[in-house]
């Protein structure tokens, strides 16, 4: 099956989850009653990705696997985006710790360059998603009323350091 094709079960799950209105929840029991099968976690994840990509909103799992909820636009901004920012920040910190544990002096010259490049990239990631950077961006974006272009963001971070 090609990457862009959907299995019949995933397609059915997408069609049901797409009907949720902002703020509406659906329990697993209700979902199983409609679908006549229990969706596997990977099917649910894929269905949620498809819906988000197609502009159908953000579907979030309920705690303890009880079901799913379509987030309101405000929740998507404050809840979902913060979750992903936190995950990116934590991943950057873990990556930097892993690189810091390497015996740098024993690396070949080409590997030293690669080590330093990746460590620099992770440092930039942490800088860009830091609370201080967020505050600086908030001030600029509030004044412009629109998202900044990537080049403008990078120029702003030259001042934030």
What average pLDDT does this structure show over 84-90?
88
> What order do you get walking across the sheet with 59-61 strand by strand?
25-27, 67-70, 59-61
* Both tokens assigned to 145: 């009323």
Q: What is the pLDDT of residues 22-38, one digit of tens each?
A: 999 999 999 999 999 99
Class of the CATH domain delimited by 8-70: mainly alpha
d(CA 67, CA 112): 48
Q: Is 70 in a helix, a strand, or coil?
A: strand
Q: What is the pLDDT of residues 39-82, one digit of tens each?
A: 999 999 999 999 999 988 999 999 999 999 999 999 988 887 78
Domain boundary assignment for the chain: 8-70, 73-160
The percent of residues above 70 in pLDDT, for the chain, comes to: 95
Read off the DSSP letter of residue 77: I
pTM of the model as a whole = 0.67
* Both tokens assigned to 8: 């019949």
């Amino acid at each position: 099956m090609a990457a862009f094709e959907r299995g019949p079960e995933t397609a059915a799950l997408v069609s049901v989850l797409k009907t949720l209105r902002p703020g509406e929840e659906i329990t697993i029991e209700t979902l199983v009653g409609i679908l006549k099968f229990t969706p596997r976690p990977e099917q649910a994840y894929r269905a949620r990705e498809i819906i988000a990509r197609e502009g159908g909103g953000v579907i979030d799992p309920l705690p303890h696997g009880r079901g799913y909820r379509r987030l309101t636009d405000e929740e998507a901004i404050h809840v979902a985006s913060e979750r992903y920012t936190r995950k990116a920040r934590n991943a950057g910190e873990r990556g930097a710790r892993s690189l810091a544990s390497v015996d740098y002096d024993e690396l070949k010259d080409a590997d030293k360059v690669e080590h330093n490049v990746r460590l620099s990239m992770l440092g930039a990631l942490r800088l860009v998603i830091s609370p201080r950077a967020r505050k600086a961006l908030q001030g600029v974006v509030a004044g412009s009323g629109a998202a900044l272009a990537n080049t403008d963001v990078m120029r702003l971070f030259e001042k934030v350091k």
